[in-house]
Amino acid sequence: MPSTSNPLWQRYEQSVRTMLSTRDPAAKVIHNKHVSGRLSGKKRQIDVLATGTVVGQDVTVAVECKRHGRPSTIQLVDQFIGKILDIGADRGILYSYAGFTSSAVSRAIGSSNPHVSTIALKTPATTIGYIVTAPGLPTDLLYQDPAPQWVEEMDEDAFRDFLTTGRWNKFWS
């Protein structure tokens, strides 16, 4: 368990690292990794770097964890895509404690090389009653792959289904 003297952002990053390492025990998941940029030649800091093998192919996933008070923007997604390209990672996951703007999610969805997933971790207070049956993980680390643009846009039944089954419909009404 992380020390309580760690700043919240660092504990947040370590929690994401722990969660990801439990999703694939064979993967090597490292917190606060520094990687040389292939394009820039500069050291790049990655909040969490996961490496492993899938069907005999090495795969690298860069993860950034944002714990801001406001939703993450398209500029942040663009910066992250640039970092992924620079370090040569195969894909990226961008966690945001406060969610994402709709343009940020659209940009991530439109990125195919590298593929980027956006995952919002903050659970709106109005949904706490539905959390008890959420699959797998603590409520502050709900995993959505890819995340809905805004969970608040989902109708109540769709959101309840997401929390109880872990599935969501990209084309909710």
Which pLDDT score, from 0 to 100, does residue 155 have? 61
Judged against a pLDDT cut of 70, whether residue 6 lies above it is answered with no
d(CA 29, CA 27): 6
Domain ranges (residues) in the chain: 8-165
> What does the DSSP 8-state code read for residue 166?
S
Choose between 22 and 138: higher pLDDT. Answer: 22
Which pLDDT score, from 0 to 100, does residue 12 have? 83
d(CA 39, CA 60): 17
Which pLDDT score, from 0 to 100, does residue 16 have? 87
Structure confidence by residue, pLDDT tens digits, 61-103: 999 999 888 889 999 999 999 999 999 999 999 998 888 888 9
Choose between 45 and 153: higher pLDDT. Answer: 45
At 170, the pLDDT band (50, 70, 90 cuts) reads: low
Q: What is the mean pLDDT of the chain?
A: 77
Say whether 37 sits in a helix, a strand or coil. coil
Which pLDDT score, from 0 to 100, does residue 19 have? 86
Which pLDDT score, from 0 to 100, does residue 164 have? 61
Which pLDDT score, from 0 to 100, does residue 125 have? 46
Structure confidence by residue, pLDDT tens digits, 10-45: 888 888 898 888 888 899 999 999 999 999 999 999
- In DSSP terms, which residues pair with 119 in a beta bridge? 95
- In DSSP terms, which residues pair with 59 in a beta bridge? 52
d(CA 162, CA 105): 18
* 33, amino acid identity: K
Report the CATH number of the 8-165 domain.
Answer: 3.40.1350.10
Structure confidence by residue, pLDDT tens digits, 113-125: 899 998 887 644 4
At 149, the pLDDT band (50, 70, 90 cuts) reads: very low
